[in-house]
Structure 1
Amino acid sequence: MTLVLAALALVLLPAAGAAGAAEKPSLTLSKSEAGKGGDITVKGEGWRPNALLMMLVCGQSTPADGVPGGTNSCANDSGRAVTTDAKGAFSKKLPVAEPPKPCPCVVHVATVTGDKAQADAVFAVAGHPVKSLPKQQGGGKLSVLTDTRLEGSSGVLTWFGAPPSRTFVFTVGNVGSAPVKDPVFQVGTSHGVFAPQWEEQQWRGTIAPGKKAQIKLPVELSAGAHGDYLVSLKFGGKVLAEQPWGVGRPWGVTVFWILLCVVVPAAVFRIGMAVVDRLRPHRRRNRGSRPAGRHRTGRIAELTDRMPKLRLSQGAVAADEAARTPRTKPPRETGDPSVKDTATHPGTLPWFTPDTDPGSGTAPAAGQLSAPSENSPTTKGNT
C-alpha cells in the first residue's frame, strides 16, 4: 500500500508543477469605468513571486492585441509600481488618468525585471475620446518564430566610452495571405522603467505568405551608456520581441579621470615652483647661499668703505702701521743685557715722527718742535 501511494505521488507532483508553470497571470479591476481623478483597485494572481510590476492606463489597446504603441500610448506619469507576495498575488490602487491615445483603453501590467510577463484588462476612461484601432495595411502579417538574440561584442574603445553596438538577429514568418515587401521595423532601446526610444529601420527583401526569413538589424546606444537595457522590436504597431542587454561600465573613462586629477595638480605645482624660482631676486639667492657670519662681515666692510676718509698726521699713520705690525715673540731670557726687547720697547713713539725719534741719534731740524725729554733742563722764558 505504501509503495502504491509513493508511486501516485511521483506521478501527480510533476503534473501539478506543470499546471502551476502553465498558469498565466491575470488581472481583476474593481471598476470597469472611471473618470479622470478617480482611482481603481487592481488585483492580480499567477505572477512570479516577489516580482516588481508596473501598472499603467493605456489607450488604443485591447487585451487581444496588447499595447501596439508601447508605453508611448500610456499615461506614464500616473503609473504605479507594485511587488507581488510569496504566492505571486498583489492588490493596489491605481489613479485614473487620460492616456495620450484615444480609447479603447486597458489597464496594462508588466514585469520590470526578470522574465517578461504581462496582462491587460479592459477599462474605459469616462469622458476620453474613443477611436477604432488602425487597420493593418495589406494582407501580410509577420510574426517572430524563433528566439531573438544580440550578436557582437564590445571592443577596447567601448571600454573608454565609445557607443556600444550589437546586431539584433531574429527570424520572422509571414502568417498572412499577402507577401510583405521591404518591411519597416521599429527598434527601440529602453533603460530601466523608461519608455523605449524607437528608431525605424527598413529591411530590403520580400517575405512570401507561409515563408520565413532571418533579419539582422543594427542596434547602438549612446556614448558612455552602461547598465541594464531592453531592446524591443515592433512591426505594424505591435511589439514582436524583446531582448535584454547588459552593458558594462566604461572603466577606462574612470581611470582617465583619476589620472587627470592626479597629474594636473602635480604639473601646476611644478610650473608654479618654476615661476617662483625664476621671479626670485638674484641678490637674495646669493645671500641665501652665504653663511650668517660672512654676511655680517661683508655688510660692515661695505659700510666702512662708504664712510668718508679722514686725513691723519704722519705720526698717526706711523703709529697705526706699528700697531698693525705683528709682534714677534720675545726672546728667551739669556741674561745678555745687549738683547733688547723689541716687543715691549718699540722704536717709534706715536708722537714722534721717524726722523725725530730720540733713539735714532738724529737731532730735529731747526724750527721743528718736539716733546720735552725727562732729563732736559727746564727752560724758562726770557729773564
Structure 2
Amino acid sequence: MRTSGTGRRAGAFAGAVLAALLLALLPSFAQARASGPTVALSQTEGGKGGEITVSGAGWKPGALLMLLICGQGEPGKGVVGGTNSCANTQGRAATVDAKGAFSQKMPVAEPPKPCPCVVHVAGVTGQQDVVDVAFTVAGHPTAPLPEATGTGRLAVLASVRLEGSSGVLVWFGAPARREVVFTVGNLGQTPVKDPVFHVGTSHGVFSPQYEERQWRGTIQPGKKAQIKLPVELSAGAHGDYEVSVKYAGKVLVDQPWGVGRPWGVTLFWLLLAVVVPAALFRIGMVVVDRVRPGGAAGSRSSGHRGRRRTLVRTPLVRTTELRPAPERDESTATTVLPWFTPDSAPSAPSEISPTTKGHQ
C-alpha cells in the first residue's frame, strides 16, 4: 500500500513538471509560428567579389529556396520589377533541412538596378514564402525607389495547374470545364484590389479568344494570393488546347490542356446510320405492299372469294358409316354417280362383250 501511494505521488509530480514545461514553451512556440520564416545575414554590407552567408529558420523542411541580391528593393515592400532587378547569374539555391533551417554562402554581386538593395529569399518548391533582408552593396549606385503608380504589379510565384474533371456529358459533346489555379505576388508598392484577368483558350494556330474574369480580394504589397479562374471550351471541342491568362496586358500563364474526343457522339452517329436506313426500308416495304396491284392484300381477298365460290358450287357429299355392301345382282345393278340423274346414268357394260378383235 505504501509503495502504491509513492508511485501515485511520483506520477503526479512528473505530470506537474511536464505541464510547467509546456506552459513555458508555448509562448515562444506561438511567437515562432506567428513570425513565420526568418532570414539572417552574416554581414549587412559587402563589395563586389566578396562573400556572405545567408541562414534562415522556420521554413518548411525539404523546401527549395532561391537566394538573390536585388536592387530597388525594400523589406516588407518587395522588389520593384521582380527578378529583373536581381543579379540572377550570381544567385544560389538552398534546401531546408529537417529542422526547418538552412545556411548557404553566396557571392556579392552588383544587381542591374541601383540600391537600396536586399537579399531576396523566395521559395521555389514546397513553400512559396518570400523574405527580403536589407543589404548594402559597396560602391553600387543608389537611387530613390520609383513612385507608386497605383496599379500594383502581379507576378506568378507558383506552378500553374488545371483543376476539375470531365463528366459523363462531356463524353457526349458537352463543353469541358476546368479551373486554372496559380499563385501571384504583388511586387508593387500599392495594394491590388479586385484584379481583372483575361482568360483565353487557343487551338492550333488560332489566337486565343479572351474573356474577362474578376477575382474578388485584395493583394497587399509583398503579399501573395492563390487565384482560381474558370475556363470553358465550346461544345464538342477536343484536341490540344492552350490556356492563357493576361493581366494589365501581360501574359502571366500559359498552360496546356489536352481534351479527349467525345466518343459518345461518334457512337450515336453510328447507331443512327444503322437504325434510320433499316426503318426507312421497313416503311418502304409496307407502302409498296399496300400500293402495288395484286399485292398481298388483293391476293388474300381474291383467295377468300375463290374459296367461297368453291364452297357454293361444290355439292355437299355426306359421308356415311362404312357398312358391308349388300349382295346384288351384277346383271341388273347400275352405278349412279352423284352428278348424274338416274335417267342419264350410263349403263354398265356387260361382263361378256365381244371385242372388235374377237370378231375379226
Q: TM-score range by the shorter chain?
A: 0.3 to 0.5
Structure of higher CA gyration radius: 1
State the TM-score, normalized to the length of structure 2.
0.44
